[in-house]
Amino acid sequence: MTATPRLLIGLAGLMGSAGVALAAASAHGGDASRLASASAMLLFHATAILAAIALLARGLLHDGIGLIAAFGFVIGAALFAGDLTLRQYAGHSLFPYAAPTGGTVMIGSWLAVTLAAVTANK
């Protein structure tokens, strides 16, 4: 396995652990609904990254497009969850439209998975 899939697996692990931590903070904090949404996006997309890596390893996704999708999941979820978490704890956003930008990147990444599946070499 090359360094790129290992990097993505490591990032998925960090996203999963952050998602669990945010879920706990949401459950034990006051008005922390933003943290629940941030947690869900991190946990769902950490799993999506692992699935994409597994599908890439089996040749079921186009290599380049599949990697773009997986990195898109990382970037999109980080923007979305980072923005919501910063709003919760610091009272301001990461940058204007950070969460919607992250959401758009995640949507695009799911569409990239679709394209990677239909253009795979197998």
Residue 28 CB-half CA count within 13 A: 6
**Residue 68 belongs to domain spanning:** 3-118
Both tokens of residue 2?
């090359």
Nearest to 45 by CA among 56, 34, 37, 57: 37
Q: Judging by beta carbons within 10 Å of its beta carbon (0-12, 13-18, 19+), is residue 76 exposed, middle or buried?
A: buried
Entry field: residues in the chain: 122
Could you report the per-residue pLDDT of 68-104, keeping only the tens digit for each? Answer: 999 999 999 999 999 999 999 999 999 999 999 999 9
The total number of structural domains that make up the chain: 1
pLDDT bin (cut points 50, 70, 90) of residue 64 is: very high
Could you report the per-residue pLDDT of 99-117, keeping only the tens digit for each? Answer: 999 999 999 999 999 999 9
pTM: 0.94
